Amino acid sequence: MAQVFDTIVIGGGGMGSAAAAELAARGERVLVCEQFPLGHHLGSSHGHTRIIRQAYYEHPDYVPLLLRAYERWAELADHGGQQLLFPCGLLSIGHPTGELIQGIQRSAAEHQLRVDPYTAGQIQQRWPQFTIPQEHVGLFEPAAGYLLVEECVRAYLRLASARGAALLENEAVISWRAGQTDVSVRTIHGEYHAARLIITAGAWAGHLLAGLGLPLTVMRQLSHWFSPPPGGMWTADHFPCYMVETPAGAFYGFPHVDQRGLKVARHYGARELPGPEYVDRAIDPVEASPAQAFFARYLPHLAAQPYESAVCLYTLTPDRHFVIDRHPQWPQVVLAAGFSGHGFKFASVVGEILADLALTGKTALPIGMFAMNRFAGER
């Protein structure tokens, strides 16, 4: 006999775990179906740290959501009694006419956010770890910092479970079907029914939403960890998170926050793939060469060879903005996809948005730019 719930959530990563905890807090009987072990490292919600920032270069319309996300992360930390967000500042470096610097200035001006300008010389005086082209400038955002990504997901899963949600791991979804008043989800182990469905399947969203023709692709990205030089100049007390726009693409990194060392990754720049089944999980040491070249130019004191690397999946939309919407045919089905490699910091507020859409069909939070109909001409 099929089991019945109020809401089924497909995908137990950052977005799905936050949505489940929020729905359970509102009295919903929630089921989470995760195809891998809960807290797995095969999708996008892992890698130990994620930058969180407010002066969003990608678009000023993200800023109100970020301000709400900060509030919701603080609430999650209070519930679990653990710190999840660590403010250490973010230094963004690039040419003054580049997308990064221009975008940060635009968002900061529109929303009256504090960002402190630096010349190349001033950067090297305050943070001598960097070597910066003289024509570059920096913007330092004191309110930025990093989240502990796995801890955030685990905290949401614990909270969802404590509120009565059922969490299934290693239970891949085969198909789902919607009727006029309900939905059914068939997995490798059984069938479940509910009044509503939320799909937060990350790189696998394209398969579950194939009928919509969303133009989603998957990008295999690598994060690398390097050993810091001796001394304390690379800890968060002396070294911030950073983003650097270079001719070879954008790179971002973190201070030395634990035994894993210094994390760095390139943002975008890899080949777009049709789906996660095309992703090669093996890592060739030569794949660290872009990060090594970046260090050689901008952070020359760092070790040349990473001691650890990990695969992370970006699920991309053509415009690199999210999709958060209700299904055009089945309004009881809500989806969140295409977070394009910069979504995790929003998970706390996306969970709230998804609960709003599922239960009331609308949200007071500004999500107009994430409507799926913007891709109507690309299907």
Q: Return the active site residues.
A: 46, 49-50, 263, 267, 312, 345
At residue 232, φ and ψ (nearest 5 deg) are -105, 15
Answer for the pair 157, 150: CB distance below 8 angstroms, yes or no. no
Pairing of strands 90-94, 308-316: unpaired
Pairing of strands 191-199, 249-253: unpaired
Instruction: State how far the Cα of 47 lies from the Cα of 63, in Å rounded to an integer.
Output: 24
As separate numbers, helices (DSSP H) first and strands (DSSP E) second, the chain gives 8, 20
Q: What is the DSSP letter of 251?
A: E
Cβ–Cβ contacts within 10 Å for residue 27, how many? 11
Residue 3 structure tokens: 């089991």
Answer for the pair 200, 11: CB distance below 8 angstroms, yes or no. yes
Residue 246 structure tokens: 């270079």
